[in-house]
Amino acid sequence: MSVGFIGTGIMGAPMARNARKAGFDVIATNRTLARAEPLRQDGIQVAKTPREVAQRSDIVVTMVVDSPDVEAVLFGPDGVAAGAHDGMLAIDMSTISPKRTKEFAERAAKNRAPFRTLDAPVSGGEIGAIEARLSIMIGGDAADVERAMPLFQALGKTIVHVGDHGAGQACKLANQIAVALNNLGVSEALVFAASQGIDLEKVRQVIAGGAGSSWAMQNYAPKMLAGDFRPGFMVDLQQKDLRLVMGDADEARLSLPGVALAHHLYNALQANGEGRDGNHALLKVIERLSHIEARVK
């Protein structure tokens, strides 16, 4: 089976490599083509446009940024829809709007050459993508999920068909609420511990084994304490996701005070030119509020 990847950024590139390792024929493209070129060393072909990727693939994976980006690579000039063919399946693994996702599924079904779609956003960070341990939350038809299962198994470990088109994205937004608030919890716990003058490495170690643990405590706290804020998942992307959550929450008259708080604290990072830091850089905001640094030197 041939699989095309559109978007070879932090997540897309290692996912394409894992698909290749699992034995799929892989062809990739990226808006900045130079970023896709190194994939040739892993036996991955590189195409110039999403259209060409679609023409040469049974399954096309999009791993770009937001809803307008998915729309552009699917339906824009030289997009996937222009290269679609009978039986082609387009799987969007970016995190985008559930509502727009449903709309894209309808447009794909009405395309000149109709194609099938799934939404299959992921969680597990850059490390999860590299180690093929992603959680994959899927929306769409069961037959398409079954067809794509060998690909999902090459990319992740926890694979759940949540419901119809858009359900995968809705689940991912729920996940992002937990991610943001876990980051906030870890940041406040570490700053408090620093204020108490106790050994922060020991604090991290013991909390990570107890009821205060989380993925953030296990994976982000070591980076926070080392002052390593390079992105696995950028603040700018975290903010994109929280905006999607708040848009849908507003429409439903839903009160999510934790999300609003986290979003505003992340705004402080963006205002300081730190939007391209990793989302665990939230620690810096909490440190600045109380003028206390939580670092292991």
Q: Would you give the binding string for ligand NAP spanning residues 68-97, x where CB under 6 A is met?
A: -x--xx--------------------xx--
Let me know: does 132 contact 18? Beta carbons within 8 Å. yes
Give 140 or 231: the residue with its C-beta nearer to ligand NAP: 231
Which residues, 44 to 63, sit near ligand NAP by CB under 6 A?
Answer: 63
**In the complex, which residue's CB is closest to ligand NAP?**
9
Nearer Cβ to ligand NAP, position 123 or 187?
123
Q: Min. distance of Cβ 168 from ligand NAP in angstroms?
A: 12
In the range 149-188, which residues lie near ligand NAP by CB under 6 A? none
> Residue count at the site for ligand NAP (CB under 6 A)?
25
Rg (CA), the chain: 20
In terms of Cβ atoms closer than 10 Å to its own Cβ (0-12, 13-18, 19+), residue 255 is: exposed
Query: Are the C-beta atoms of residues 122 and 156 closer than 8 Å to each other?
Result: yes
- Least distance from C-beta 73 to ligand NAP, angstroms? 5
- From 21, 110, 172, 284, the catalytic residue: 172
**Are 265 and 285 spatial neighbours (Cβ–Cβ below 8 Å)?**
yes
154: part of which helix (H) or strand (E)? helix 142-155
Nearer to ligand NAP, 8 or 101 (CB): 8
Kindly tell me which of 57 and 95 has the beta carbon lying closer to ligand NAP: 95
237 binds ligand NAP (CB under 6 A): yes
Element (H, E) at 291: none
Nearer to ligand NAP by Cβ, of 52 and 69: the residue is 69
Active-site residue flag, 172: yes
Helix or strand (DSSP H, E) at 199: none
Give the DSSP H/E element, type plus range, for residue 19: helix 12-21
Output the CA torsion sign for 138, 94, 240, 79: negative
Our finding on whether 126 is near ligand NAP (CB under 6 A) is yes
Handedness of CA 67, 265, 9, 175 (dihedral sign): negative
Instruction: At 55, list the tokens.
Output: 């023409």
For residues 120 and 91, what is the distance between their CA atoms, to the nearest angstrom? Answer: 6
On whether the CB atoms of residues 259 and 159 are closer than 8 A, the answer is: no
Candidates 25, 35, 58, 157; binder of ligand NAP (CB under 6 A) is 35
Residues annotated as part of the active site = 172
Footprint of ligand NAP on this chain (CB under 6 A)? 7-12, 30-32, 35, 63-65, 69, 72-73, 94-95, 122-123, 125-126, 232-233, 237
